[in-house]
Amino acid sequence: MADLFDRYHQTRSALLNAAREFGRHPESITLLAVSKTRPAEDISNLYRIGQRDFGENYLQDALAKQRRLAHLDLRWHFIGPVQSNKTRQIAARFHWVHTLDRTKIAQRLNQQRPDHLPPLNVCLQINIDDETSKSGVTLMELPQLVESVLELNRLKLRGLMVIPRPKDDFEQQRQTFSAVKATLDEFNQRYKLAMDTLSMGMSADLRAAIAAGSTMVRIGTAIFGPRNH
């Protein structure tokens, strides 16, 4: 647990330092702790020191943790691929979905979002530099998806998400993230929207993501240590 707290505080410092370095307000950047494959205890320990936003990729694993932690006011973010047969539970159990990349899935989430909950926050995952990835919409397909999502009143379009191809070089990382930021700005203007979220940056490229304007960094390994499978 001491290790977990150390790594958590180091990650917070890295976020603060990057914000300072690039002239960003630290409050404008949410730290999303990616707790996939980690036990519920890690989540409740981080909750005790103030962490509220948690990201999960595997639905069954996430639901089990949510049941155990139902007494805590956590914000749950779904960040894994969304399959059609999972949309009902995702729509009912999560506050955010970061990985929306198909109209059909958007329509299902919209239909299945329970009436007593506010609209589901969504980010559209874009595929900006990795032609081999099956996930994410291309920039060509993006207008169509944006237009579809805007018609769905149980979804709240918050912004864009990206998982770039891994690169070691800071400037290359930053270039990709800046292209996503430019896309967000362009779409806000073109469609008169107020999308406010750029979900980008993981353990290996947090600093470049913050340099480019990220508002939500998704950090797993740096907080929880290496995953053992």
For binding to ligand PLP (CB under 6 A), which residues are involved?
Answer: 34, 36, 57, 79, 163, 202-204, 218-222
Nearer to ligand PLP, 130 or 188 (CB): 130
Least gap, CB of 151 to ligand PLP (angstroms) = 26
Nearer to ligand PLP, 114 or 225 (CB): 225
> Are 209 and 217 in contact, with CB atoms under 8 Å apart?
yes
Neighbours of 40 (CB within 10 A): 15
Nearer to ligand PLP, 38 or 181 (CB): 38
Least gap, CB of 32 to ligand PLP (angstroms) = 8
Q: Report d(CA 137, CA 139) in Å as an integer.
A: 7
Least gap, CB of 141 to ligand PLP (angstroms) = 20
Nearer to ligand PLP, 109 or 222 (CB): 222
Nearer to ligand PLP, 24 or 38 (CB): 38
The secondary structure element, H or E, covering residue 106 is: helix 103-112
> Are 57 and 32 in contact, with CB atoms under 8 Å apart?
no
Least gap, CB of 109 to ligand PLP (angstroms) = 17
Nearer to ligand PLP, 92 or 204 (CB): 204
Least gap, CB of 204 to ligand PLP (angstroms) = 6
Least gap, CB of 217 to ligand PLP (angstroms) = 9
Nearer to ligand PLP, 52 or 154 (CB): 52
Query: Which residue has the closest beta carbon to ligand PLP?
Result: 220
Least gap, CB of 191 to ligand PLP (angstroms) = 25
